Structure 1
């Protein structure tokens, strides 16, 4: 594992080659340093889901039955990460290689070979760039195998959750979750999961995929005078909101939630049109950008430049 520390005059990000995981991203304000992502637990030496964020490649979430059919062939998967199903692909459990690094950017890559646990051969890259208050992620995956296969991308960040946190993320519908954490039915947005306008994250278990996202979202932390905007390329047309509870996760302290941009529906392998998964022929690539921008009041940026930071 190799650690890369990226800096601007107002922000810092720590990136690990293990899982291409972000271990922390924080902003300097007049009232101190505020984490824009949940800091990694155990100094980044814990489990992959104890980091601050990680990429999802060559797909995100679970594959029902650990099997899927494509182009007349059946494929079998092996469960991972102690889950009943093969979860989040391979990238988050693999050691990536540093291809390039500067003071404020880094590119890490993963060349993965198919084996008995999963059929994908691919080359994945993640470019992380800090620019003032802005973080840009460029995620890509190239099919390096001999067969055309369905691919997807996603990003799994953990955001701080406070009593006044509000989420805005327009969508048209949401998938209900079954007992095995797979989607069961697509339904209109219920009132407590309607983020078309600014709304709190319900204080209960949430693990749902949302459809027809326009790629724009916003997280407000009013008690910190801080807002985070999220803007993605059109390929990220879905998202997942995840918030555990103490009944299922005794270690959960109600202090974080996940908002995960996705190119495909959870378990799209078993849905019409593959749920947005993209068939890639050998040599073809899927790529997209995720841009996050922090907007804060009374920051060192304003003092240093004499300018207000531009709003959304």
Structure 2
């Protein structure tokens, strides 16, 4: 069985948020996704690889913008979730089959609960199903203030039993062959061909400053890191601008992803390792996975601050 397809709504509302020179477009019905983030300045930099209104409203998978990862990130091997009482079979994601991927949050319409000139709050109510067999409520807050974009996620466990949980975001940043990325991390999760790490290794001190230069020709990229300090900087030398990222303490794993010659680079701040729930069940440490008791809440935040000359 495959995961639920996104709903098509040609009339889906798109919200424009403004604060100073910053602008954000959000389509809650398209998986709670940010479509665009840019500055109304002389250089007109696009801070996210943009999605058009038409692409958002047709309900098809589009690589761009930024979407929330809830109630987990990345893949669950063979869509089987290890539990003490026995494995649970989930729906495989059409794009990640035979694995489950990213949770139902990015494929379901979110509902707006509050909207202002520079802010938007939305929620997702999930009833247990084959995509995720635990009931939960998620909230996402999008705010422009103090010259930066602030994102916040809250995951409320509503199931009667403990629920495995994780959070994160999947942003796509523009990459036309000239983006530089710098961040610091202490552990590497080697990614094999099936994109399913089986463990981690400490990075030597000299490799803990990860400096990635993306210049053509560009090979496919997938890296999984942890014990990340939560900060990263993307720099576009040809445009003379940069973007700093600052993730909250929960998000100490980061996934770097770009297909061959893609016009984007993903830097995904997440709370746990790829297939982390199953790896933890096998006794691996440092997976970053969490378990929420009924009524508990998990919170995460991410700030993106443009830096222009």
Whether the TM-score (by the shorter chain) exceeds 0.5 is yes
| TM-score scaled by length of structure 2 | 0.87
Matched residue, 2:297: 285
Task: Say which of 265, 270, 287 aligns to 1:262.
Answer: 270
**Cα distance per residue 1:97-135 (max 9 Å; x no partner):** 000000000001000011133212110011000125300
For the 8 Å contact 2:21–2:40, the answer to whether it is kept is yes
Matched residue, 1:97: 111
Matched residue, 2:16: 5
For the 8 Å contact 2:18–2:144, the answer to whether it is kept is yes
For the 8 Å contact 1:120–1:149, the answer to whether it is kept is yes
The alignment partner of 1:183 has SS state of: coil
Which segments of 5 or more consecutive residues in structure 2 lack a partner in the other structure? Answer: 1-11
User: In structure 1, how many angstroms separate the alpha carbons of the residues matched to 2:292 and 2:210?
Assistant: 36
For the 8 Å contact 1:225–1:296, the answer to whether it is kept is yes
Matched residue, 1:303: none
The alignment partner of 2:155 has SS state of: strand
Which segments of 5 or more consecutive residues in structure 1 lack a partner in the other structure? Answer: 246-252, 298-312
Matched, 1:225 2:240: yes
The alpha-carbon deviation at position 200 of structure 1 amounts to 0.8
User: In structure 1, how many angstroms separate the alpha carbons of the residues matched to 2:286 and 2:177?
Assistant: 38
Number of aligned positions between the proteins: 288
The alpha-carbon deviation at position 44 of structure 1 amounts to 2.1
User: In structure 1, how many angstroms separate the alpha carbons of the residues matched to 2:257 and 2:199?
Assistant: 17
Task: Say which of 54, 59, 65 aligns to 1:52.
Answer: 65
| TM-score scaled by length of structure 1 | 0.86
Matched residue, 1:238: 253
Matched residue, 2:170: 156
Matched residue, 2:4: none
Q: Identify if the C-alpha distance between structure 1 residues 194 and 163 changes in structure 2 by more than 3 Å, giving closer, same or farther.
A: farther
Q: Identify if the C-alpha distance between structure 1 residues 26 and 258 changes in structure 2 by more than 3 Å, giving closer, same or farther.
A: same
For the 8 Å contact 2:72–2:167, the answer to whether it is kept is yes
The alpha-carbon deviation at position 163 of structure 1 amounts to 2.9
The alpha-carbon deviation at position 222 of structure 1 amounts to 1.7
What does residue range 1-312 of structure 1 map to in structure 2 within 5 Å?
A: 1-17=12-28, 18-31=30-43, 33-41=44-52, 42-45=54-57, 47-84=60-97, 85-189=99-203, 196=209, 198-201=211-214, 203-245=218-260, 253-271=261-279, 272-273=284-285, 275-297=287-309
User: In structure 2, how many angstroms separate the alpha carbons of the residues matched to 1:24 and 1:281?
Assistant: 36
Q: Which runs of 4+ in 1 moved over 4 A?
A: 188-191
The alignment partner of 1:65 has SS state of: helix
For the 8 Å contact 2:185–2:210, the answer to whether it is kept is no
**Cα distance per residue 1:154-209 (max 9 Å; x no partner):** 10000011333110111112222223221144345599x95715431472111221
The alignment partner of 1:176 has SS state of: coil
For the 8 Å contact 1:48–1:92, the answer to whether it is kept is no
User: In structure 1, how many angstroms separate the alpha carbons of the residues matched to 2:202 and 2:178?
Assistant: 26
User: In structure 1, how many angstroms separate the alpha carbons of the residues matched to 2:148 and 2:142?
Assistant: 11
